Amino acid sequence: GAQRPLPTRAYARPPRGRQPPEAPCSMAAADRKQRGAVVTGLAGFCSGATEAAVTMPFDTVKTFCQVQKRGVGPVAGAQEIFRLKGFGGFYFGLPAVLVQVAGKGAIRWSAYEQFKGGLQAAGAPKASVDFVAGLGAGFTEAFLWTTPTERLKVLRQNDIRSGLNRYSSLPGAVRTVAAEHGIRGLYAGIGACGIRQASGVGIRFAIYGRVKGLLTTDPPQLWQSALAGGITGCASTALNHPIDVCKTRIEAQDAAGQKEYTNTLQALRKIAAEEGATALYRGIAPRMIKIGLGQAITFAAYERYSDLIGDAAAAVAGTFAPKVLPA
């Protein structure tokens, strides 16, 4: 019978003379198509959970700096968090972050593969496929998952500044927001979150393959995937950080009634007018570290997880496949 093609791993190099593929994580692209959406989703879920466990403290410091109207640097912010809540304060909102990042990873990679396949089938220009598919994946994850979980995470992290403990558990936070603001309260900041996610994911997918192609040696190494992912994460952060500041300000609003920030454009204008343009870049240092490190982990871990999960699925399928006896 036909032999199953060998999986293309992150450390395997295409034969000499062939151009490296351009799509993100494309060294395993053909194999992942065969593995299907379940393996893609599981690999994205696992890589997202790995990222969250490592980068959470940087995210907490970033949020703390962004919600302050007085300028607070990352070092001072970290010291203040430790003074108020101890080491555990750096992991305020961890349940929401784990749920968010792991679920986001599953949705992002699955949606990206679907959008990319549809664009390729429609004959979209090759140079634009990764970016447009990334935009679509970013908007999808923002609507289905990231906005409500980000809202819960920011509210919990804002407890550090307020001194209250209103959002101490994930189920309790959902109940509190739903009771005081309705289900729509979970989607505060969806405009800013959608713009941030779509632009960030689109940029990362668009340039990851190109950056990795410049770094690849013979044979390729897993650290090259990590470095390429880190570079793309830093690039997207530099471009969309003002949107992230607006998102955080909108999501941190807890009181019912008149809101200080009503939408992304109004928040951009208000922050720049009252606090100066530099306020739109508060928290960029910890966010740059968090996303750069996070994307390094995400891209490298995704390639490895997709190989491991795909091989395990193939082994299980082979074990239970019906045996064809010779005539």
Q: What is the pLDDT of residues 230-255, one digit of tens each?
A: 999 999 999 999 999 999 999 988 76
C-alpha span between 316 and 327 (Å, rounded): 26
Q: What is the pLDDT of residues 54-80, one digit of tens each?
A: 898 998 898 888 888 777 889 999 999
Q: Closest Cα to residue 132, out of 113, 119, 121?
A: 119
> Measured on CA atoms in the order 203, 208, 214, 215, is the torsion positive or negative?
positive
- For tokens 């307020």, the residue is 162
**Tell me, what's the pLDDT at 4?**
44
Question: Do the beta carbons of residue 58 and residue 286 sit within 8 Å?
Answer: yes
**Tell me, what's the pLDDT at 17?**
40
The answer to whether residue 11 scores a pLDDT higher than 80 is no
The answer to whether residue 3 scores a pLDDT higher than 50 is no
Full-model pTM? 0.73
The answer to whether residue 271 scores a pLDDT higher than 70 is yes
Q: What phi, psi does 6 have (nearest 5°)? A: -65, 140
Question: Do the beta carbons of residue 136 and residue 115 sit within 8 Å?
Answer: yes
**Tell me, what's the pLDDT at 5?**
45
How many of the other CB atoms lie within 10 Å of CB of 62?
A: 28
- For tokens 């293309």, the residue is 8
Q: If you write DSSP's letter for every residue of 47-95 in order, what string do you get?
A: HHHHHHHHHHHHHHHHHHHHT-SS---HHHHHHHHHHHH-GGGGGTTHH
> Measured on CA atoms in the order 264, 261, 259, 143, is the torsion positive or negative?
positive
**Tell me, what's the pLDDT at 282?**
92
Q: Closest Cα to residue 314, out of 304, 324, 306?
A: 306
Single-letter amino acid, residue 207: I
How many of the other CB atoms lie within 10 Å of CB of 297?
A: 22
Average pLDDT over residues 298-326: 79
How many of the other CB atoms lie within 10 Å of CB of 210?
A: 14
Band (266; pLDDT cuts 50, 70, 90): very high
- Enumerate the domain spans of the chain: 190-297
- CA distances 22 to 229, 239, 267, Å, are 14, 22, 37
- Which tokens sit at 3? 């032999």
Q: Residue 283: left if φ>0, alpha if ψ -120 to 50, beta else—which one?
A: left
**Tell me, what's the pLDDT at 143?**
93
By three-state DSSP, how is residue 30 classified? helix
Q: What is the pLDDT of residues 130-155, one digit of tens each?
A: 999 999 999 999 999 989 988 888 88
323 vs 122 pLDDT, higher one: 122
**Tell me, what's the pLDDT at 257?**
64
**Tell me, what's the pLDDT at 323?**
60
C-alpha span between 298 and 304 (Å, rounded): 10
* CATH class, range 190-297: mainly alpha
**Tell me, what's the pLDDT at 32?**
45
Please tell me whether the peptide bond between 219 and the residue prior to it is cis, using omega within 30 degrees of 0: yes
Band (275; pLDDT cuts 50, 70, 90): very high
How many of the other CB atoms lie within 10 Å of CB of 187?
A: 17
Rounded to a whole number of angstroms, the distance between the first and last alpha carbons of the chain is 14
Question: Do the beta carbons of residue 72 and residue 279 sit within 8 Å?
Answer: no
Helical packing angle, 147-162 and 37-66, nearest 10°: 30
Q: What is the pLDDT of residues 177-210, one digit of tens each?
A: 888 888 888 998 899 999 999 999 999 999 998 9
C-alpha span between 75 and 232 (Å, rounded): 25
Q: What does the longest C-alpha to C-alpha distance in the chain come to?
A: 83
Q: What phi, psi does 322 have (nearest 5°)? A: -65, 135
**Tell me, what's the pLDDT at 21?**
40
What does pLDDT average to over the chain? Answer: 83
Rg (alpha carbons) of the chain, rounded to whole number = 21
Query: CB-hemisphere CA count at 13 Å for 133?
Result: 28
Q: Closest Cα to residue 18, out of 9, 27, 10?
A: 27
